[in-house]
Amino acid sequence: MGAFHGGGRIVVARPRRGRRRLRVTLYEPSGLGGVCHYTYQLAQALARQECEVTLITTEAYELAHLPRRFRVRYLFKPSLLKRLFSAIFRLGRPPRRLPDGQEAATKPRRPVPAWIGALRTRLLQTRMALELSVRRADVVHLQSVRWGREPFFVRLLGWLRIPVLYTAHELRGHEGEESPEPVGLGAISETVSRIIVHAQRTRDELLGLFSVNPGKVEVVPHGSYDFFFPEGRISKEDARARLGFPAGRPTILFFGLIKRYKGLEYLVEAFGRIEERVPDAVLAIVGNVFRGDPVGYAGYSRLMEEVSHRPNVLRVPGYVPVGKVGLYFSAADLVVLPYTGASQSGVLLGAFAAGRPVVVTDTGGLPEIVKNGRTGFVVPPRDPEALAGAIVAVLENPEMAETMGQDAARLADTLYSWDRIAARTVELYGSVLSDRRRRATRRLSTSDGPEELH
C-alpha cells in the first residue's frame, strides 16, 4: 500500500504578503462523474480564493489531464518500489507456449475477503489522517463517501482535531441502488462540524430524517458546470454540426446515467404526445443504463431497444467524456429532467451553463433553482401529460425559449458562479475554525481557573 501520489499540471495561486493560505483538503474517492466534476470546480474556485487546496481521489481520476490550481493525492496507488518489483516478477516469468489455434484462458481473480478490504481501507485512512495532521490541514471537506467506511475516518480526524465538513449531494440512495439506510449519514453527522446541502427543501428533509443540530446544516447552492465550456458557450448550429445531429429540428435532451429515479419512462411516454403537436421534434437520450440495478437495467435496456427504432429518437449510449458534454447541452433546444426524486442535479446546472431552458419535476431542490415560467417549467413528477404540455410550450415558442435560455445563462454566471460559491464555502470554513478556537480558549480558561471549594 503506497503513500499518496500527486500528478498533473498545477498552477498554485500566491497568497497575499504576510498572510498564510487556508489549507483545505477535499475528499472525493470516486474520481468519475458528477460529484467528481463538482469537486474539481470547487477546488479551482477555492484556489482562486487563495486557499491551498489538496484533492484526495482515486488513481483513475478522469480529470487528471485538465490544468488545475490544486494538488492531487491518489488513493490506493502502489508505491514505486512495489510497482518495480511487480514489473521484475513479470519479466522473469517465462512466456507460456500454447499449440497453434489455442488461446490462453484468463484466470479469474479470487475475490478479496470483505474483512481484508475493510482492514486495508482502515490502515490507509489512518495513514491518510496522520499525514493530514503532519501537513497541518485546516479543514477536510468530504464530497462523497463510500458508506460504512468513512465514519471511522471522520472519527479519526476528530481525534486529531482536524475539522470535517460534508457536502450531502444526496441524503439517501435511490430505488434499485445498493445504498445505506439513513443511519449511515446519521453516523457521520454526529462527528462532522458542518453539513452542506444545495437547497432549503433538502435541509428540511435532512433535519426530518436525522437527529442533527440545525446549526450544523448550511445551504450552499450547486454551482454552474461552466467548465464544460472552456472556450465560451457554443452555438446550437455548431454543436449539432459537430455531433451530427439534425439541423433545424426542435431537439429535447435527456442526459446522464439512466437510473430509476430519473423517470425516463415518463418522458418517453410524453414524447408520443409531443410528436402529435410538434411532428419534427427530436428526443436525444444520451447516457448508459445503470448496471448496478439488475431489475432497472433489464427494464431500461428493453425500453432503449424499443425507442431506438423510432425515427424521431436519437439514442447515444456510452459515457460522455468531459470534453464533449458541452456539445450535447448546446445542441438541444431544451433539457428535460423528469425525475421522481432527487436532492439536486448537475444536469440542471449544465443546462444553465449552456444557456438552455429546462423542464423539471417538482422534487427535491429542483424547483428552487428553476424559476417557473422564466428559466423553464416545473411540473408534477410521474405526469406524462403535464410533462408533454410544458415541453410543447417551449418548442412552439422559440422566442420564449431564447429568453428563458438567456435568463438561465445569467443565473449561471452570477448566482451560481463558482467564485460566489467558493467565497461562501470559505466563510463556512472560517466559522468552523472560529468555533474550534473558542472551544480551545474555553478549555484553557477552565483548566487554568481557580480550584473549586468542596
Q: Which of 153, 5, 165 is nearest to 81 (CA)?
A: 5
Q: Output the CA–CA distances (angstroms, integers) from residue 353 to 228, 318, 416, in the order listed.
A: 8, 22, 9
Per-residue confidence (pLDDT) for residue 181, from 0 to 100: 45
- Select from 369, 447, 366 the least CA-distant residue to 407: 369
Closest CA to 37 of 288, 362, 267, 319: 319
pLDDT in tens, the chain (454 residues): 344 444 455 444 454 555 689 999 999 988 999 999 999 999 999 999 999 999 999 889 999 999 999 999 987 665 554 455 455 555 555 555 555 545 455 555 666 677 787 787 788 888 888 989 988 999 999 997 665 567 788 889 989 999 999 999 888 766 556 554 444 576 777 789 999 999 999 999 999 888 889 999 999 999 999 999 999 999 999 999 999 999 999 999 999 999 999 999 999 999 999 999 999 999 999 999 999 899 999 999 999 999 999 999 999 999 999 999 999 999 999 999 999 988 889 999 999 999 999 999 999 999 999 999 999 999 999 999 999 999 999 999 999 999 999 999 999 999 999 999 999 999 999 999 998 888 777 777 766 555 444 3
Q: Is the dihedral of CA 183, 188, 194, 198 positive or negative?
A: negative
Nearest by Cα to 192 from 222, 216, 210:
216
CA dihedral 434, 197, 329, 249 (to 10 degrees): -150
pTM: 0.85
d(CA 350, CA 320): 13
Pick the closest to residue 333 from 356, 360, 364 (CA basis).
356
The span from the CA of 376 to the CA of 398, in Å, is 13
* Residue type for position 167: T
Question: Are 222 and 34 contacting, i.e. CB atoms less than 8 angstroms apart?
Answer: no
pLDDT of residue 2: 40
User: 218 in helix, strand or coil?
Assistant: strand
Which neighbouring-strand residues pair with 218?
196
210 in Cβ contact with 185 (< 8 Å): yes
Answer yes or no: are the C-beta atoms of 187 and 311 closer than 8 Å: no
CB 339 within 8 A of CB 345: yes
Tell me the residue ranges of DSSP E strands in 193-340: 194-197, 217-219, 251-255, 282-286, 313-316, 334-337
Give the C-alpha separation, 375 to 403, whole Å: 8
Q: With the C-alpha atoms ordered 38, 56, 323, 65, is the resulting torsion angle positive or negative?
A: positive
Instruction: Please give the DSSP secondary-structure letter assigned to residue 68.
Output: B
